Amino acid sequence: VPLQASGGGLVQTGGSLRLSCAASGFSLDYYTISWFRQAPGKEREGVSCIRRSDGYKYYARAVKGRFTISRDNAKNTVYLHMNSLEPEDTAVYYCAAGVHRPIQSSWASTGAYDHWGQGTLVTVSS
């Protein structure tokens, strides 16, 4: 598996977590990296994206202002910093890598991504 997502766990409402997406065998710098999540009984949805080449960032409306995506090229890792967590954020979080340069209307399309991590569970208790 070329992508490894980690950092999930159990946190109380209002708490914070940092998810990591590490790559092996290829450089994340050349890829658009996105975080998706899937809650039980719901479809997978885009959370945030950092675009290749220019590092432009996209956020889902539900997380804007609370989550921050960042890239550390030296560590070949992309992070998702999650603050002010809410029970509605409970889900399995996946990172994905693609070679496209998405726009606002396309970054959350799952079909555009070539590599997926195995997912990490985030549980926010009320």
Q: Angle 121-84-52 (CA atoms, 0-180°, nearest 5)?
A: 65
Query: Contact, 93 vs 9, CB < 8 A?
Result: no
The residue among 123, 113, 124 whose CA lies nearest residue 21 is 113
Q: Which residues contact 15 (CB under 8 A, 6 or more apart)?
A: 85, 124
pLDDT at 17: 98
Strands 77-82 vs 115-116: parallel, antiparallel or unpaired: unpaired
pLDDT at 20: 98
Q: What is the DSSP letter of 64?
A: B
Per-residue pLDDT of the chain (126 residues; tens, 9 = 90+): 589 999 999 999 999 999 999 998 888 989 999 999 999 999 999 999 999 989 999 999 999 999 999 999 999 999 999 999 999 999 999 999 999 999 998 999 999 999 999 999 999 999
Q: Which residues contact 56 (CB under 8 A, 6 or more apart)?
A: 50
19-55: pLDDT as tens digits: 999 998 888 989 999 999 999 999 999 999 999 989 9
Structure tokens of 92? 């399995």
Kindly report the backbone phi and psi dihedral angles of residue 73, in degrees, each rounded to the nearest multiple of 5, phi listed first: -65, -35
Q: What is the DSSP letter of 31?
A: S
